[in-house]
Structure 1
Amino acid sequence: MSSLRSKVALITGGTKGIGYGIAESLLQCGVYVAVTGRTEKSAKEAAKRLNEFSNDSVHAIGIAADVRDYKSQENAVKQVIAEFGKLDVVIANAGLGHFGSIQDLTIEQWQETIDTNLSGAFYTLKASVDEIIKTKGYYISISSLAGTNFFAGGSAYNASKFGLTGFTQAVMLDLRKHGVKVSTIMPGSVSTHFNGNSPNESDSWKIQSEDIGELVVDLLKMNPRTLPSKIEVRPSMPPSK
């Protein structure tokens, strides 16, 4: 089992939800963490909360970065290297969803979904790939069961997540010859603020963000010879319809 202590992780969209849950789990394992958000305020506040939670010498930093902008992702990676000196783990987590019939979906909604969920993951890896090759690190994308199961009203979201799943699997083949591991995690219903939801007791049946964090830790600790490249995750007991 690999030790994670003193490794360095960059998590996009890490100010809340799944990204924040992953950051908490990694800090508990002694990983230095950088979380990004679209605004400096949200990124710094998330880092502050994480540092209050951490009881170790490791710490988190917050970086304002928009995954839709490649230069912004390059700058985020430069800040991580300047702060921590290396980069071992990259989590492409930032995402959003616009849902509705193709008759109602706007051009702007389509573009924002693809730019964030698919191009954003590409920009994140493209900006960091040289650094994680240096450390023989790990790239993980957070896709969705919507990346393999289509549904009415999901044309933009399905397209982005089907694309993200395929992108990540192809990248896995590109990078494993460099000693870099690549996985995509495909959750079902997760209790987050996604799509305007406010997590509450009625979400108790759903996957929790810390569950995804635990899964990420398990992946990072796995023997280097073994690679779970695509992981589907579901609530074990969803409510009956």
Structure 2
Amino acid sequence: MQQKKSAIVTGASSGIGFSIAKELPLFHAKVCDLLETQRMCDMAKGIAKSTQLHILVNAAGVGYYGLHEELNVKQIQTLVRTNLEVPMILTNRLLRTLKQNRGHIINVSSITAKQNNPHGCAYGAVKAGLTSFGASLFEEARKYGIKVTTIHPDMTDTDLYRDADFTCAKEAGCYLESEQIAQAVRFLLEQPKGTVIPELTIRPQYHRIARKAKNADA
């Protein structure tokens, strides 16, 4: 009988992370504030010790948009912390276990990592950092049988844009659904031994966004 593979998925309470968690056959939800470093590390190590951990999906993300000078310091720190620091720390704490189990690390980056991002400079920068981290980690760890993949989704219909002045255009083919990203994760995990897809870009057919109506009371 094939051994079931357990997984840690960050950001599993909503959006892309939630959809990915539903796709995985062995996933147990545990609530943890990712901004509390020690608690996050302790919980991750506890899961690694109590299960056969094979999969780490770094899917937690936050976005702030607008002119760079309009962001406050806390927003910039949160962008760096959630989108880049947390994946790097979790991977650091779990990498030995994942090497032993010849596991798979999947980082959910963004299409913004591959392009210029006016009105999203900081967000694009941290996602580019995550992409660079994943590419270098793959080269570092591949000799141990571990797989590392970075996914670059284009605009996806989640709450990521709730504070932005734009949102997904609602016409068919203008945005991705989080379930489509989850299906891509399953596709990656089903690749045969010895085959790795280091990067995967997923885009809708059309490129359209919609401007949000301004609040008349503002």
- Compared CA separation, residues 157 and 239, structure 1 to 2 (3 A): closer
Contact between 2:168 and 2:208, CA under 8 Å: does it hold in 1?
Answer: no
Structure 2: 5+ residue runs without aligned partners? 211-218
With over 3 angstroms needed to count, the CA separation of the structure-2 counterparts of 1:134 and 1:215, relative to structure 1, is same
> Which residue number corresponds to residue 69 of structure 2?
103
TM-score of the two chains, using structure 1 as the length reference = 0.78
TM-score by length of structure 2 reads: 0.86
2:58 aligned with 1:64, yes or no?
Answer: no
Please report the RMSD computed on the Cα atoms of aligned residues, expressed in angstroms. Answer: 2.4
Q: Counterparts of 1:129-148 in structure 2 under 5 Å? A: 129-148=95-114
Match of 2:158 in 1: 192
Q: Which residue of 198, 223, 231 maps to 2:200?
A: 231
- Identity over aligned pairs, percent: 26
Match of 2:183 in 1: 214
- How far did 1:104 drift? 1.1
Question: What letter is aligned with 2:47?
Answer: V
Structure 1: gaps of 5 or more residues: 34-60
In the alignment, which of 125, 134, 138 is matched to residue 159 of structure 1? Answer: 125
Amino acid at match of 1:12: T
Post-superposition offset of 1:72 = 2.6
Q: Which residue of 1 aligns with 2:214?
A: none
Q: Which residue number corresponds to residue 14 of structure 1?
A: 12
Contact 2:168 2:209 in 1 (8 A): no
1:53 is aligned to none
Number of aligned residues: 206
In structure 2, relative to structure 1, the CA distance for the partners of 1:192 and 1:240 (3 Å cut) is: closer
1:29-178 alignment, distance < 5 Å: 31-33=25-27, 61-81=28-48, 83=50, 85-178=51-144
Tell me the alpha carbon deviations over residues 8-45 of structure 1, each in whole angstroms, 9 at most, x when there is no partner.
0110011111011111111xxxx211xxxxxxxxxxxx
Change (3 A) 1:75 1:240: closer
